[in-house]
Amino acid sequence: MNFYNAILLKNNSFTLMNTPEENFAALGLNLPPAPKPLGVYKPCLVDGKYLYLSGHGPVQDDASLIIGRVGDTVSQEDGKLAAQQVGLTMLATIKANIGSFNKIKRVIKVLGMVNCTPEFEKHPFIINGASELFAKIWGEENGIGVRSAVGMGSLPDNIPVEIEALFELE
């Protein structure tokens, strides 16, 4: 039986679980174009039951990048939105390379890097933008993995957030 079509008994009522694809569709968000590598690397790699995603930046629907530094030209709230956009960019890479979010069993590890001023201290809040998106797609149990959120003095092209991740495949 497909995990996502399983019927769960909870408080004496049955609940049909949605697939990650259905969860994403319900959010009403757009995927930007999957980015092409800007250097010598693969944006994603499947190794056995694992999918590795290289660092991704916040690509917008028109393929441009969100730029700026958190704590300077980018507010804390806009930094979190930029991290969500990075999450969407990562989803675009997943969709382009393996075809469906339903092929992902769970998020294992997220590394979020924030281009910020030396005084900025809320790195985890920023990276929550991507983590909350993943939790809405794969659920809290499978959409939240282990994570690091760190500040950086700069990031490529002056993007405010870069994120890499490891996923387990179905």
Angle at 29 between CA 24 and CA 30, to 5 degrees: 110
pLDDT score recorded for residue 38? 84
Q: From first to last of its 170 residues, what are the pLDDT tens digits of the chain?
A: 233 333 344 444 444 469 999 999 999 999 999 999 989 999 999 999 999 999 999 999 999 999 999 999 999 999 999 999 999 999 999 999 999 999 999 999 999 999 999 999 999 999 999 999 999 999 999 999 999 999 999 999 999 999 999 999 99
Phi, psi of 36 (to 5 degrees): -95, 150
Is 33 in contact with 92 (CB distance < 8 Å)? yes
Pick the CATH number of 19-169 from 3.40.1710.10, 3.40.50.720, 3.40.50.300, 3.30.1330.40: 3.30.1330.40
The string of DSSP codes covering 33-47 is PPPPPSSSS-SEEEE
What's the pTM value of the predicted model, to 2 decimals?
0.90
Distance between CA 94 and CA 133 in Å, rounded?
Answer: 14
Q: Is 112 helix (H, G, I), strand (E, B) or coil?
A: strand
Tokens read off for 60? 């917008």
* Domain spans, the chain: 19-169
